[in-house]
Each structure stands twice: as C-alpha cells, then as structure tokens.
Amino acid sequence: LAGQTGQERGVEVYAVGGFVRDMLLGIPNDDIDLVVEGDGIAFAQNLGRKLGARVRPHLKFRTAVLILPGGQKIDVATARLEYYEYPAALPIVELSSLKMDLYRRDFSINTLAIHLCPPHFGRLVDFFGGQQDIKDGVIRVLHSLSFVEDPTRIIRAIRFEQRFQFKIGGQTERLIKNAVRLNIFQKLSGARIRHELRLLAEDSAPLDAFIRMRDLGLLQEIHPLLHFPQTKEALLEEIERVITWYKLLFREEAPDIWIVYFLGLVSGFDTHQVQALTSRLRFAPKRIELVESTRRQLRYVAMQLAQWGKNGGSAADLYDILSPLSLEGLLYTMAKQRKLELKKAVSHYLSHLQDVGILVTGSDIKEMGLEPGPRFANILRAVKRAVLNGEVRTREDQLKYARR
Ligand code: ATP
C-alpha cells in the first residue's frame, strides 16, 4: 500500500534500516522505517488516511509517525532532495536523495533499502555493501569520521555486535581505539551516554557488552568509577541470569533493567562515589531517588533475609521483609544472594507471594460490628498473614479467621 501510494503521488518510497537488516537476518521486526524521495509528510498523511492511522508530523525534520489502530508505528522520513539552480537556463541538478540519507547512518548493515513502488517493488538497494557485511557478520562504519561525528555510535556498534553475534570490523575497531585516545566521550553529554547504556542493558548479552566496553577502555573514558574489576563480573552475570528468569515469568510490571545493572556496577561504592556517577550520567531526580532509597534498603533487607533463612521464617515474614523493595531492588537482591535457598525465597516472592490477596473485605469486617480504625487494619493484616502462610484458603475460612 505504501508503494502504491508513492506511485500515485509520483514519489519513490523505500523501506530502510533495521527493518530490512532484520528481514535479511530472518528476525521479526515490527518497526517500519520508510524513506520517501519527495514530500514525506504529504505522503504520510495520504497513507495515514488509507490505513486509518493517526499521523504525527514533525515539520522541522520533514518526518512523520503513523500510529496504526493496533498501536503499531511507521516512521516516515523525507530523503532531502536538494536542487541547485544554476544561472542561465542550465538544468536543475539533483544532488542528494536516498543515497545521501543512507550515508548519514551509522553502519553498513543499517543502510539497506527495499524499493516499495512498482515496477521495482521488492528490489534491494545496497549502496554501501551492507548485504555482504550481514553475510560476513561485520559491523562497519561508512567513513573514518563517523565516531567523531557521533561518539554514541561506538556504544551502538557494541550493542549490535553482541545482539547479532557479529564482529566489529578491523578498521572500525581501530577507529574506536583512536576515538578513545582522543577522549571523545569526555565531551559527550551524560544524558546521551546514559540513553545508550540503557539500550545496551536492555538488549541481549549486556554483560558481554559491558566487558567489551571496559576492555576497549570506554567505561573508563565515561568515568573511571565505571571501570568494573573482574571480581564484579560474577555479580553482573547473576543479574543477567535473574533478569532472563524474570522475563520468562511474563509479568505485567517491567523493571528498569539498566537500574538493576547500575546497582551491580556500584555495589561496594560509598554514597559519594554513586553520586559522582549519577551526576556524570545525568540521572533524573526520580532515578537518583530510586537508586539511593534502594541502596539504603538493601543492607537492611540482606540482614533480615539472612536471619529469616537461619530461623526458618514463615512466608508471611518473607513477605514483610521483601514487600517494601522496588522491583529493581528485588531483582538485585535475588542476584546478590549467594545461598540458593535465599535466592529461591526471593524468586518465590516475585512469582507467587507478591500476588497474594485476601477474600475478606472491609465491609465484611464492618458487618462484624467493628468501626474502621487500627484494629480494622490489624485484622486484615492478620488474615493476609494467615493466607500467605497457607493456613486459610477459602473465603469461609478467612471470615472465620477474621472473627477469631
Ligand atoms: P533496533 O532494532 O535497535 O531498533 P535500529 O537499527 O532500528 O535497531 P534505531 O535506533 O531504531 O535502530 O535507529 C533507526 C535507524 O537510524 C538505524 O537503522 C540507523 O541507521 C539510524 N541511526 C540511529 N542512530 C544513529 C546514529 N547515532 N548515527 C547514525 N545513524 C543512526
């Protein structure tokens, strides 16, 4: 339909970037990026009408986002056709189009395009050898100033390398090392670095990516305190395992994975050291509060958990210990436990106990002749503890317990 719309409007339309890369790799990718050689916004509005999609144009960048009824998004960009008019009736010269648009991208594997307009529908456009690099599994920049132009591309290179199990090409790796020597990260804003580190943590194999960054001297460049020693690798590996486990639970609440890794990276640090890092990486006040309050709770929780294990505490006691923690704090605590039975206890809390509810309500207690107040809350709490400990199950039993 996009191709047809392009043809009707007399403009060429291409699917580009990650979508094409993943198609060649056989990986599903719902993020469709289109490039239009012509007026991208007018095209998007036209296509949007046909698809019943909302269209959000961005006039300054000549881009638009289509939001389909199902929530799926299509990004539309304009390949800037720049015409240079010469004096004296010489023809107008077209200087840049799709090729220029693709040349601005990060790596050759992201520069592939597929023609969508008939009669060329489905034809692959490969200006920079991207197809061969996908075959060879190589991450390669398009020109030698690429990392100077945008140093975040270095972190992106490592992310793609780990995700696809590709290899950064020899010349590209030399350019990274050169960029490190030029202290390129020191001038880069904390917010941009943090954004890329977050994407890295959320992608596949974050630990290997962090190790790769460290070994290339990049973490050190961002801040000397980020350069984690080998002794921290076991904890980070455990974090990776716990997050993989949690994802398989398919729970609605999604953790901020980057924060869980960050807690691992700063384990053993004092408050000043943590502040130095949150300030370098321009954490938002809310995230700083999450990190600081979680770190304050962690020491106490670890002690209580150890006691609980020793004394063979109940499920209700476990609930009381763990329920004040954020999801990030819980996942970190699970990773941090060396004893298997304590690790299992946290996992039991995450997968079962935290969902436990009771079937007795406030109105039930009112019917028993009690007015709302502290006793009221205590009764509900006692019922909840009994349910957590498996002492009562049905509503009948819970009501009986409440009356007692
Ligand atoms: P992902 O699967 O992670 O979404 P993607 O390739 O679609 O991968 P995006 O971050 O969504 O990545 O970016 C879309 C496109 O924009 C990429 O294919 C890439 O060519 C280009 N791009 C993104 N960031 C940069 C950058 N820093 N420098 C140059 N090009 C970039």
pLDDT at 95 (0 to 100): 41
| φ/ψ (deg, to 5) at 13 | -130, 135
Six token digits for residue 286: 């809310």
Kindly give the confidence (pLDDT) of every residue in the chain, 404 residues in length, as a single tens digit, with 9 standing for 90 and above. 989 999 999 889 999 999 999 999 999 998 899 999 988 899 999 999 999 999 999 988 889 999 999 888 999 999 865 555 554 444 444 544 888 889 889 999 999 999 999 889 999 999 999 999 999 999 999 999 999 999 999 999 999 999 999 999 999 999 999 999 999 888 899 999 999 999 999 998 999 999 999 999 999 999 999 999 988 999 999 999 999 999 999 898 999 999 999 999 999 999 999 999 999 999 999 999 999 999 999 989 999 999 999 998 899 999 999 999 999 999 999 999 999 999 999 999 999 999 988 888 888 888 888 777 788 888 888 999 999 998 888 888 888 888 87
Task: Give me the pLDDT at residue 82, please.
Answer: 55
Per-residue pLDDT at 393: 85
Ligand 1 atom nearest the C-alpha of 21 is: 6
Element (H, E) at 113: strand 113-115
Identify the H or E element spanning 37: strand 32-37
Q: Give the residue whose CA is nearest to atom 28 of ligand 1.
A: 106
Phi first, then psi, for residue 274 (nearest 5°) are -65, -40
φ/ψ of 167, rounded to 5, equals -130, 135
Neighbours of 371 (CB within 10 A): 8
| C-alpha 156 – ligand 1 centre gap (Å) | 8
What span, in angstroms and rounded, lies between the C-alpha atoms of 129 and 15?
17
Residue with CA at minimum distance from ligand 1 atom 11 = 18
CA 155 to centroid of ligand 1, rounded, Å? 12
Distance CA 375, CA 102 (A): 68
Q: Are 257 and 201 in contact (CB under 8 A)?
A: yes
Q: Whose CA is nearest to atom 25 of ligand 1?
A: 106
| CA atoms within a 13 Å half-sphere pointing along the CA-CB vector of 120 | 15
State which ligand 1 atom lies nearest to the alpha carbon of 29. Answer: 2
Q: For ligand 1, what atom is nearest to the CA of residue 111?
A: 20
- How many of the other CB atoms lie within 10 Å of CB of 86? 9
Ligand 1 shell residues, CB under 6 Å: 17-18, 31, 105-106, 110, 150, 152-153
Q: What are phi and psi of 107, to 5 degrees?
A: -130, 155
* Local structure of 141: helix, strand or coil: strand
Q: How far is the CA of 96 from the centre of ligand 1 (A)?
A: 20
Query: How far, in Å, from the CA of 111 to the mean position of ligand 1?
Result: 10
Ligand 1 centroid, distance to 18 Cα (angstroms): 7
How many angstroms does the Cα of residue 64 sit away from the middle of ligand 1? 16
